Amino acid sequence: MGKLLRIILIFTLSSSTFAIAQQYTIKGHITDAKTKETLPFVTVMAGQNVYALADENGRYELKISSTSARNITLTVRLVGKRTERIELSLNPSQNIITRDIILQDNDNYMSEVVVTAERDDENVSVSAFKLDKDVIDQSQANSLAELLQLIPGQEIRNPDLQSAQAINFRSANTGQSSLNNSFGISIVMNDNQLNNNSNMQGRNPIQTGGFNSLGGSNSFRSSSFEGGENPGGGFDLRQISVGNIEKVEVIQGVASAKYGDMSNGAIIIETSAGQAPLNFSLRQARADQNFQLSKGFQLSERHSIFANIDYLNSRPDLRDAVKSFNRVGGGLMWSAFIGSGKLIKNTLDLKYNTTLDDFRIDPDFATERRVLYERRGQTVSNRTYFNLETPIFDNFKTVFSYNGGYDYSFVEQFVNPGVLPVTGFLGEGVNEGTFHPSSYRTTRAIEGKPVNISARLDFSKALVYKNTDHNISYGFTYNFNGNYGEGRVFDPLRPLRTSGVVSQFGNERPLSYREINPFLEQFGFYIEDGIKGEFLNKGYNLNLGLRVDNQFNNWSFSPRINSRYNVNENLTLTGAFGISYKAPGLIHLFPGPQFQDIPLINFFNGREIESLYLVYTYQRPNDASQVRPMQAYQREIGAYFKKGLFNVSVTAFLNENKNGFSVNTNRVGLDVPQYELVEVRENQRPIYQPTGEVRIVPVTERQVVNGNYDRSYGFEVVAATKKIEPINTSFSLNLSYYDSYYFNDNLQYLERTNFQPGDPFWFGVYSGTQSQGGNANGLFTINHHISKLGLVMALRGQVFIYNYQRSFPSTDRAVGYLNGNMEFVEIPESERDSPFYDILSITEQQGNYFRRPDFTYFNAHFNLSKNLGKGIRFSFFANNFLNIRPELLDPTTGTFLSFLNQDPYFGLELRFTY
């Protein structure tokens, strides 16, 4: 890899020797397909960073260097029109190229409307998919979570806006592995990287043993909802509306080296900008209402502003407003071309978004519980493109982004656990607690003020060397994450207890984020060479990249390779390999200290003043010094065949995730002094004294560690046709199979129930846990499109072919033990079967394999979209419109467990464009 880096640097720094300097001029007119009139202020992009803006007469002109690649892609974009991508060949004998461009309205009268995700052959990643504007409009999605159901490997489900929504790529694992997978997916909107690094809206993971939102799961009628926050997991996709999104690129494989702080893929989003017609849409689906309004204003030949507003109200049940989710957002994007030659383009993006996930008190609920999650976010992001050619770059781009917010999680509940002892001591040692009333109303809150600041500088240089095209990119990135809220705010003397059981870990302590000052800094640089040439008279594309990052003082090196080889004009072979790293979030690095309360004297006589709760509080400070970034290895091979109207691609992959985040539990001994009650006094606190004895008490130490390992392999098959004109229909088929293995190397501790002082074994210590699972799914889509009528009908059939879980056999033998002094003693492997250790034996677990369900089943969905004249579109969708609901039965007793498909769900949309 060092040799590769030197070669790329030599190519870059000596580019002036590779080709004779020469200028190409590309110009033409842009017209409307229907009216034949010229279209002003259309953006034309050559390659990645060279821009031009058509004038008021629809004329455009841009200049590129002859050292650029011999082929160039023009991307022509105007909001409300279908984006055109045009391949041009550059001939050294022809300096001026004239190309007129015709744009179609982005409506159902287009010659072809796409309703499924397509391969993105322009992406560096060889297995990327794209969702263009026509797909987005046809999806009728309320959020990015619903839109991404269209990519291979995902399941089409009814809209669910009542719980935090994240996504997994190429994995069948659940639990902590699923959380790590979603946490490692990067979301980049307009070059602004969104992440969940600053999210600390959860309970203390080393107190609870996992990453949980404050409210946890809640039930309403027959439904159950997960928390409204996702600490330690992926970005909540409910926050992102899709009305002003122009394009989404989904990278499930090896991403470009320009993207850092990710381990499992990326979602790249481009939103609308520039001149645009007035667009208003209204959606209604059961108890969900969503409306969006947008308009682009051309202020002058060089300046434009795009504005949008979004409102969403969602309830799980039309009959009741106990549970609801609301989202209100809007934004302004100012675009400007600067300089006499318009060689500088600047875009300033301002966004505001607020969400409220509320679970009100229902008088029918005995717990009288209320849960809410509120978020307010602001974004300021500025991008500047410079088309300034020098010997070491043709153009460069600067990006600065600020994402700030206010997060508030709140739980209120009336509890009746009885009179129980409690302490709120914040130190370590012996202290006097108190007793809380038998019933009371308690509240817990977490206030966070997350901050994410990022900056990047990207350069590009295109050149030709010995008949090989090189598109070299390099740049620098910086990211800062912090959280400066009040933190976990509650009264520790009024714990959230719902039973009479007193847990040593049940009483958490408040924690001020301002006082602990959690922050995370990352910086890195990358270099990448996109090589295009011929080998054995066959064309190839080879992308070689290297990324170097420093993530909280941990250096990482991430080589990434993507390759395409054109066997012939119809068949392309692909392959990729990459390493990437995901930094831990603030919830991993700054969970807060752990408290464990060990009762010494618990005496209550009915009067609090005459009672005594003496307790030893054990405090373990947070120690994240050993936490490292997650590491991902991705490998894939594939083939892509395209001939005429038909195309098919097959991709096989193997992914490994090392150093995944988890919470480790360790048992240690603590010397606790003993006390005795001496005298009970009237209207006074009892008198107590130390006995002089010390007792060893086993305490639990938890910390966030890199204890998870995941391995997933599988394949994806995507087959599709273009529109077949005689029947006005296109077809597509997605098949995916994922098989995932999980291993946690954290040791397991089991206390002997009959332990007596003097026994040699107090705790048995056993090896970590492992599991495996897999699934195979398919989606077949029939898209019937009659252009003259402006009618689109899409029928989707989803098949769930196979789903299994496997548990591995585990030995009954211990790998070590804790003796009477709580000292760990490892048992040599050769001695573990000795009869001396039979007392530590546990029930041996046999490995089990089971399918659930043990049959294949189907589902069917229908979408209809009709233009009612120019500028008005009506859309309708029906999920599971055939009401296919097979039952899942217990394999042993035959009793009913659940339905496999969701109930039918219908919705409609009206869209007005003027």
Burial class (CB in 10 A: 0-12, 13-18, 19+), 757: exposed
- Could you tell me if 215 and 248 lie in one domain? yes
449 shares a domain with 428? yes
Report the pLDDT value the prediction gives residue 12, as an integer from 0 to 100.
45
- What's the average model confidence in pLDDT over 61-88? 79
* Per-residue model confidence as pLDDT tens digits over 905-914: 999 999 999 8
- The answer to the question of residue 816 being in a domain is no
- Position 457 scores a pLDDT of 97
How far is residue 317's CA from residue 854's CA, in Å, rounded to a whole number? 32
Quick check: is 531 in a domain? Answer: yes
Contact 85, 73 (CB under 8 A): yes
Q: What is the DSSP letter of 823?
A: -
Dihedral over Cα of 587, 592, 598, 603: its sign: negative
**pLDDT confidence bin for 462, thresholds 50/70/90:** confident
**pLDDT at residue number 848:** 82
Q: Is residue 782 part of a domain?
A: yes
Using CB atoms within 10 Å of the CB of residue 186, give its burial: 0 to 12 exposed, 13 to 18 middle, 19+ buried.
Answer: buried
Interatomic CA distance for residues 106 and 102, integer angstroms? 13
Domain contains 821: no
Give CA–CA dist 750/747, Å, rounded: 10
pLDDT of res. 343: 86
The mean-pLDDT minimum among 37-51, 120-134, 255-269, 683-697 falls in: 37-51
Q: Does the pLDDT value for residue 493 go beyond 50?
A: yes
Q: What is the pLDDT of residues 581-640, one digit of tens each?
A: 999 999 999 999 999 999 999 999 989 899 999 999 999 998 888 999 999 999 999 999
Nearest partner of 168 among 710, 901, 705, 780, judged by Cα: 710
Domain boundary (71, 96, 119) is at: 119
Co-location of 98 and 187 in the same domain: no
Q: What is the share, in percent, of the chain residues with pLDDT greater than 70? A: 94
User: Would you say 900 and 853 are in contact if contact means Cβ atoms under 8 Å apart?
Assistant: yes
Average pLDDT over residues 232-260: 94
**Residue 649 reports pLDDT greater than 50:** yes
For residue 849, the model assigns a pLDDT of: 85
**Per-residue confidence at 502, pLDDT binned at 50, 70, 90?**
confident
Q: What is the pLDDT of residues 735-763, one digit of tens each?
A: 999 999 999 988 999 998 888 888 899 99
Q: Is residue 362's pLDDT more than 90?
A: no
What total number of domains does the chain contain?
A: 2
CATH of the domain at 62: 2.60.130.10
Mean pLDDT for the stretch of residues 259-276: 94
Greater confidence, 809 or 209?
A: 209
For residues 751 and 882, membership in a common domain is answered with yes
Mean pLDDT throughout 285-314? 94
Q: Are residues 331 and 241 in the same domain?
A: yes
Report d(CA 677, CA 610) in Å as an integer.
12
Residue with the larger pLDDT of the pair 319 and 560:
560
Q: What is the pLDDT of residue 366?
A: 54
Structure tokens at 597: 């309360």
Q: Give me the mean pLDDT over the 767-790 stretch.
A: 94
pLDDT at 323: 84
CA distance 97 to 88: 9
| 144 plus 95 within the same structural domain | no
pLDDT in tens, 789-816: 999 999 999 999 999 998 887 778 899 9
**Do 883 and 799 fall into the same domain?**
yes
Are 408 and 374 in contact by the 8 Å Cβ rule? The answer is: yes
CB atoms within 10 A of CB 41: 22
Q: How confident is the model at residue 214 (pLDDT cuts 50, 70, 90)?
A: confident
Instruction: Give the model's confidence band at 667: pLDDT under 50 very low, under 70 low, under 90 confident, else very high.
Output: very high
CATH value at residue 594: 2.40.170.20
Confidence at 464, pLDDT banded by 50, 70, 90: confident
**The last residue of a domain, from among 78, 93, 119:** 119
Q: What is the DSSP string of 430-496?
A: EEE-EEE-SSEEEEEEEEE-EEEEEEEEEEEEEEEETTEEEEEEEEEEEEEEEE-S-EEEE-TTS--
- The pLDDT, as a whole number, for residue 882 is 96
* Contact call for residues 328 and 311 (beta carbons, < 8 A): yes
Mean pLDDT computed over 48-70: 76
The DSSP secondary structure of 600-630, one letter per residue, reads EEEE--S-GGG-EEEEEEEEE----TT---E
Which residues sit opposite 266 in a β-bridge?
186, 251
Domain match, 115 and 159 both: no
Does residue 651 sit in the same domain as residue 722?
yes
User: Is residue 271 within 8 Å of 292, Cβ to Cβ?
Assistant: no
526 with 546: CB under 8 angstroms? yes
| pLDDT at residue 218, rounded to an integer | 60
Strand partners, 743: 709, 770
CA 665 vs CA 32, 33, 405, 590, 627: distances in Å: 66, 66, 33, 17, 15
Q: What is the pLDDT of residue 15?
A: 41
- The residue among 119, 144, 174 that closes a domain is 119
User: Which of 226-235, 469-478, 904-913 bottoms out in mean pLDDT, i.e. has the lowest?
Assistant: 226-235
By the 8 A CB rule, do 463 and 13 touch?
no
Q: Give the model's pLDDT for residue 222.
A: 52
* Model pLDDT, residue 1: 47
Same domain, yes or no, for 587 and 528? yes
Q: What is residue 365's predicted lDDT score, i.e. its pLDDT?
A: 57
Q: Is 192 exposed, middle or buried (0-12, 13-18, 19+ CB in 10 A)?
A: buried
Shared domain for 93 and 146, answered yes or no, is no
Q: What is the pLDDT of residue 4?
A: 45
pLDDT tens-place string over residues 140-194: 999 999 999 999 999 999 998 988 999 999 999 888 999 999 999 999 999 999 9
Residue 826 lies in a domain: no
Is residue 108 included in any domain, yes or no? yes
Mean pLDDT over each residue of the chain, to the nearest integer: 90
Residues 103, 44, single domain; the answer is yes
pLDDT at 115 exceeding the cut of 90? yes
Given a cut of 80, whether residue 771 has pLDDT beyond it is yes
Kindly indicate the confidence band of residue 361, based on its pLDDT and cuts at 50, 70 and 90.
low
Residue 16 clears pLDDT 50, i.e. is over it = no
Given a cut of 70, is residue 504 above it in pLDDT?
Answer: no
SS3 content of the chain, % helix, strand, coil (to 5): 10, 55, 35
| Residue numbers of the domain that contains 872 | 128-410+424-810+845-913
**Is the pLDDT confidence value at 827 over 90?**
yes
